[in-house]
Structure formats: structure tokens, C-alpha cells
Amino acid sequence: LWTDRGPHLVDLDDCQTGPVVHDFWMLLDSDLAQRQRQLDSLLEGYEQFAEFPWTQLQLVAALRSQRMVEYAAWIARRWEDPAFPRLFPWFAEGRFWDEHIQALNEQTMLLQAGRHL
């Protein structure tokens, strides 16, 4: 992706196999207002080349929730590897888990409210 500040590389590992929105949501900021602006820009750029499947927007909160759980599980499964405590020291801290649970609760509220961002 090109912006006024230059190129931004994007790993499109699910390109052609997953929903289009899967590659978009991972690029979005955690701040809601910024996230909406970023999504609007991505959608505008995407639609210059192809029609965006708008119904996929409803998948964003579920995909983000899934990623959050899977990422923590990936680290947990490998915690006995000596490299993991060195690379992810925050994973063993209570603060991480407090914030992780809070973020998952926020995702749950989004899902229950039927919101995508």
C-alpha cells in the first residue's frame, strides 16, 4: 500500500482463500475513531479495483476476537520453549491478562451489539 509517507508492506496470507475483510481488520488501529477512518480509506482504495463484499464487515469483531484468543493460545502452547519467556515476558504478567480479558470483554460487547468495529 502506498501512502503520502511511502510504501507499507502488507502480508496478505489469506488472499484468495479467506474473506476480503480478514486482511483489512488486521491493519486497523485500536482507537475507534482512527479505526473507522482507516477502514474508510481501505474500502475506498479497494473499490477502485473491485467491488467490496459489504456483508463481510459484520465479521470484523468475530475475526478480531478469534485472533486474540488464538495468539494467546499459540504463546501458551509454546511457553516451555526457553525462547518464548524471553521473547514474550509480558505474557506471564498479570497486567497482560487483565488487559487481555478486558479486550475480550469489549469484543463480546461489540458482538452482542451487532457492531463490526
Cell numbers found for residue 72: 494467546
pLDDT for the residue numbered 11: 61
Instruction: Tell me which DSSP letter residue 22 carries.
Output: H
pLDDT for the residue numbered 16: 63
pTM, two decimals, is: 0.74
pLDDT for the residue numbered 90: 97
Question: What pLDDT tens digit does each residue of the chain (117 aa) get?
Answer: 788 888 876 766 656 677 888 878 888 887 778 888 898 999 999 899 889 999 998 888 888 899 999 999 999 999 999 999 999 999 999 999 999 999 999 889 988 998 877
Cell numbers found for residue 104: 475480550
Q: From CA 58, how far away is CA 24, in angstroms rounded?
A: 13
DSSP-derived secondary structure for 32-97? HHHHHHHHHHHHHHHTTTS---GGGGGGHHHHHHHHHHHHHHHHHHTTTSTHHHHH-GGGGSHHHH
- Nearest residue to 67 (alpha-carbon basis) of 13, 115, 112: 13
pLDDT for the residue numbered 28: 84
Count CA atoms within 13 Å of residue 2 on its CB side: 0
Q: From CA 62, how far away is CA 115, in angstroms rounded?
A: 10
